[in-house]
Amino acid sequence: MMKKTLLATAIVAGAFTSAQAFANCAGNVYSMNAGRGHVGMLLDVKEAKEMSNQYYADASERSIFHSRALFSASSMSYDRVTDRLYYTNAPQPTSYYVDVPEGTFSEDELESLDLHANKVESYQLAYMDPTTGEHVAGPTVSKQILRMAFDPDSGELFASDARTIFKVNPNTGETTHIADFEDNLKFGGFASWGDFVFQDGELLFVTNGRTFVIDTTTGAQTLKAFHFIDFVAAATLDQNGQMLVAAKNQNVSGNVNSNHLYRIKPSTGEKKRVGLFPSRISAMATVTSEDHTCYEKTEFKSDLIPQVTGVSLTSNSVAEGDSAYFVVTLDKATTDSNTKLRVALKDGSALVSSDYQNTVSLLFSDFTTGTATLSSTGTDITLPQGVTSVRIEVPTVEDAVHEADETFSLDAWVSTDKSDLTSATVTVTDDDPAEVLPRLCSNGNWVTPTNSLTWCSENANETWIGDYHNSTHTSVYQGTFGGLAIGEASTLNYKILSTQDIGGLSRFKVEMDYGNGWVVVGNYQSRVYSRPTTVPYTFNFTPTSTQAKFRLTWNITSDRPDGGDDISIGIGKVTW
């Protein structure tokens, strides 16, 4: 064991030479034994990527005695914030349910009889200072601790007994309840075995046959994967950040006082045997302030499968009607033609079919092509051998509707647990003119009509409203429309049509309220004795509301009883 030092020569990943085999890497693994009333021993574990098959020849080199502990320990964990290796005592009996005649055993023997303890010493924390090697007694704890782990970032200590999950203050011993174990874990015996380890930001409960994720806020327990290792006694991370698991080795003759070590990949449950170690390993922890001989990272079968490292866009925005191009990048080339890339298209404000299509074109990095129809939950795309990326072309839909810019996204992953899921979001920009057609027939009425000759009609481009009468009168029409853009300089397009075959004077007023009260758009009058006249007009305004009101007022004077009079307005689109 060595204190952590800077290496003179950098170790290049993937190029592990014989010279590098003697370099030192941060992370030194320790183990402790748990026995009721037993002496506690702290051992320095000399693990490698894989131990030799010559156990009896090198067993003495696999674990090295470090120091005598204050007591045997059921769990241990390293706090990198304080640089302390904490451990907690296994039960220390003071009396048994079976009466033993006085004088039959010595005091030392009484502490470790194979009988069910009736009373035990208080549970307690202690720690070893890696700088001095000194063992220091800590506070007593009201609960037995079967497993514990420091959050490497926050320094909080999470622990549990066989029934509950809680936090422990390592300075005072005070516990804070988080949750109970689920019944199937308690009654199935899983909560009586295993260890807590933080890996990749998750609190993992590695127990018999399987690994669970523990929610540090609610205590909820979620199955991660099956590893099928029984009698799991301890777990820790090695120098490469991989999970080391100790499995108890015993038979009918009792505890053989040796343990099998495995490396597992918690996300998949894959495991590889490291070797047999010559001690009872009931607890393990890794001191990252110390070094150990470097060894290669264990490679699992799933590690050969490429992972998604990124989803990028050739452009973050596209005009509607154009295609969006997503590029999914892998961390390594595919080794066969069996790798499945899972891709999902997700609606945002843009909707599939109406704003974009989910039948896409594929261009792989080897320049082969393909097509796929993607769902929102994920569609498998089989990748050719030797590719490192795929470009996915997603067509967008051209329409004639002015609307806000809209977005949709693409998710891509390979791992079944979605641990490599990566996303990108594209914006579809609208290229239609900003406009709205006031449909005042559908959203208006005659306030003071004179007779059935007042009228209103709509088409795709205009709303026409008119009054035809041969007598002096007044009529008013009022309507509303929505869809305006607040604060946008806008233009109303309209026309006035006047037809008066044989006389009459028409006065016509157009008013509009676009947020701040009624405004006169225009006052018109006509006296036409020949053919109809149509005059176009525009009115510029800036709305302070998304809705506007129209009020149209006719004041008609007829010169002759048989004179016909007609004045109407054609209201076109409002643009901005």
Sorted by where each begins, the domain ranges of the chain are 2-298, 305-429, 435-575
Instruction: Using pLDDT thresholds of 50, 70 and 90, give the confidence band for residue 562.
Output: low
Listed in sequence order, the residues at least 6 apart from 500 whose beta carbon sits closer than 8 Å to its beta carbon are 506, 526, 527, 528, 529, 563, 564, 565, 566
What percent of the chain stands above pLDDT 70? 91
Please give the pLDDT value at position 430: 86
- Gap between the Cα atoms of 346 and 356, Å rounded: 11
Token representation of residue 23: 């370099």
For β-strands 422-429 and 317-319, DSSP reports them as parallel
Q: Is 551 helix (H, G, I), strand (E, B) or coil?
A: strand
305-429: which CATH topology? Immunoglobulin-like (2.60.40)
Please give the pLDDT value at position 561: 59
Q: What is the pLDDT of residues 482-491, one digit of tens each?
A: 989 899 899 9
The CA-based diameter of the chain, rounded to the nearest angstrom, is 139
Mean pLDDT of 53-68: 96
Q: What is the pLDDT of residues 294-353, one digit of tens each?
A: 999 999 998 889 999 999 999 999 999 999 999 999 999 999 999 999 999 999 999 999
For β-strands 157-160 and 164-168, DSSP reports them as antiparallel
Token representation of residue 219: 């205590």
More confident residue, 385 or 436: 385
Average pLDDT score, the chain: 90
Instruction: Using pLDDT thresholds of 50, 70 and 90, give the confidence band for residue 14.
Output: very low
Amino acid occupying residue 203: L
Mean pLDDT of 127-142: 98
Write the class of the CATH domain 435-575: mainly beta
Rounded to a whole number of angstroms, the CA Rg of the chain reads: 40
Mean pLDDT of 131-155: 97
Listed in sequence order, the residues at least 6 apart from 194 whose beta carbon sits closer than 8 Å to its beta carbon are 147, 205, 206, 207, 208, 232, 233, 235
Running DSSP on this structure, what letter comes out for residue 315? -
Nearest to 281 by CA among 532, 74, 58, 127: 74
Choosing among 3.40.50.800, 1.10.443.10, 3.90.226.10, 2.115.10.10, the CATH entry for 2-298 is 2.115.10.10
Nearest to 212 by CA among 226, 201, 200: 226
Q: What is the 3-state secondary structure (H, E, C) of 19-30?
A: CHHHCEEEEEEE
CB contact at 8 A, 252 and 268 = no
Phi first, then psi: what are they for 152, rounded to 5°?
-65, -20
Q: What is the pLDDT of residues 113-131, one digit of tens each?
A: 889 989 989 999 999 999 9
CB contact at 8 A, 185 and 191 = yes
pTM over 0.85: no
Q: How far apart are the first and last CA of the chain?
A: 75
State the CB neighbour count (10 A cutoff) for residue 188: 14
